[in-house]
Amino acid sequence: MSPHPAANHNSSSQHTHSITVFDYNETQLTKTTPTDLRAYGATKKKANTVTWIDIDSSRASTLIEDIGKIFELHPLILDDLHQGQQRPKAEDYDDCIYLVLTMIRYDRTRQTMVPEKISLILFPHLLLSYQEGRAGDVLDPIRTRLENNQHRLRRLGSDYLMYSIIDAVTDHYFVALESFGEKIEGLEESLVKNPDPATLNALRRLKREIIYLRKSAWPMREVIGFLERADSRLIKASTAVYLRDAYNHAVQIIDTIETYRDMISGMLDIYLSSSSNRLNEVMKVLTIISTIFIPLTFIVGLYGMNFRYMPELAWPLGYPLVLAIMLVITLGMIYFFRKKRWF
């Protein structure tokens, strides 16, 4: 049944990866940084300590093949490790549980959400975590906590360690959502006051980001829900309580995302309305000016005609009379517009 019977152990020679192995229980902790993993195949069976093999590597690396051979992983897991950004998922392979998580980091310089993939493989007393580049930073607080022998992380098993990583990842969503919320807040201000194309562009970018956030948050919830309900011997009942809590966090993340989504799509409507308001205002000014002056201009044109026989031109009071008539017309217009509440 094992799909890789003859494993050759020599390929993990190029050191483009970094491996850290934590081996701990309530009383002791050893931390090593081996260059390859040949020696760790046996940790799958060891039960007195929990082993965390924390791998930071490029997914092009041949290390993945080695891991597959050493820990006898299903070929589909190896295929997945080789892939780039994926939909979060959880799969139960009898002897292990395989997880793909998507971490969202808000990159302040590029002003955008960056998704990063973290893969976890859970055995009874062993956890493998595999990530690329900066994604591993999210695990720093867990590394620190492990050093503290008072922390419950040290007393509980590999499933609790897995929970801690999930929890760290969901926490990063909250951080990302917070900066997202600030951007919405900022945009709402300028929406009614100053609806220009830059606002529209910002809105479009926000909409796009929230679509991406949503795309990774929903399956995260499924994944955690799957783990909580999974009737697997790999996850203890006491850990399931913590997973329920993580599940609630995931639901809260989705709630917030949906709220933001509603707000953004509302904002586009508001934008259109503001825009149409502005057009109305502009049009009203044009209409008022035009409507007042067009008749007046006609009148002055009338008496600019060069007909030889125009009796009014010779009247001594012709000019003041025309001025008076134009004043009356102007006042009449203004009264009409006031009545129409156009200004």
Binding residue for its own copies, selected from 15, 238, 328, 334, defined by CB under 8 A: 238
Binding residue for its own copies, selected from 38, 212, 225, 230, defined by CB under 8 A: 212
Contacts 24+ apart (CB under 8 A), 136-139: 136/54, 136/56, 138/103, 138/105, 138/168, 138/169, 138/172, 139/54, 139/165, 139/168
Give the Å distances, CA to CA, from 317 to 41, 295, 297, 323.
Answer: 114, 21, 20, 10
* Choice between 20 and 274, CB closer to its own copies: 274
The interface region with its own copies, picked from 21-29, 37-45, 108-116, 259-267 by CB under 8 A, is 259-267
Residues 145-184 that bind its own copies (CB under 8 A): 152
The interface region with its own copies, picked from 55-63, 69-77, 117-125, 137-145 by CB under 8 A, is 69-77
Where helices occur in the chain by DSSP H, the ranges are 63-70, 75-82, 140-147, 152-155, 158-193, 197-229, 237-302, 311-314, 318-339
DSSP codes joined into one string, 88-126: -EEEEETTEEEEEEEEEEEETTTTEEEEEEEEEEEETTE
* Choice between 37 and 113, CB closer to its own copies: 113
Q: Assess 274 for contact with its own copies (CB under 8 A).
A: yes
Residues 81-110 that bind its own copies (CB under 8 A): 86-87, 89, 91, 93
First to last CA, the chain: 84
Residue 166, number of CB atoms within 10 A of its CB: 24
Q: Assess 59 for contact with its own copies (CB under 8 A).
A: no
* Choice between 16 and 276, CB closer to its own copies: 276
Helix 158-193 to helix 197-229 angle (10° resolution) is 160
* Choice between 9 and 278, CB closer to its own copies: 278
The interface region with its own copies, picked from 58-66, 104-112, 123-131, 235-243 by CB under 8 A, is 235-243
* Choice between 233 and 341, CB closer to its own copies: 341
Q: What is the C-alpha separation between 215 and 273, in angstroms, rounded?
A: 29
Count, residues near its own copies per rule CB under 8 A: 89
Q: Assess 293 for contact with its own copies (CB under 8 A).
A: yes
Q: Assess 296 for contact with its own copies (CB under 8 A).
A: yes
State the minimum distance, in angstroms, from the CB of residue 44 to its own copies.
20
Binding residue for its own copies, selected from 39, 310, 324, 334, defined by CB under 8 A: 310
State the minimum distance, in angstroms, from the CB of residue 32 to its own copies.
30
Where helices occur in 303-315 by DSSP H, the ranges are 311-314
Eight-class DSSP state of 307: -
Q: Assess 255 for contact with its own copies (CB under 8 A).
A: yes
Q: Assess 74 for contact with its own copies (CB under 8 A).
A: yes
Query: CA Rg, the chain, in Å?
Result: 35
State the minimum distance, in angstroms, from the CB of residue 217 to its own copies.
12
State the minimum distance, in angstroms, from the CB of residue 256 to its own copies.
8
Q: Assess 259 for contact with its own copies (CB under 8 A).
A: yes
Buried b / exposed e along 269-304 (16+ C-beta atoms within 10 A): eebeebeeeeeeeeeeeeebeeebeeebeeeeeeee
Residues 321-340 that bind its own copies (CB under 8 A): 322
Q: Assess 190 for contact with its own copies (CB under 8 A).
A: no
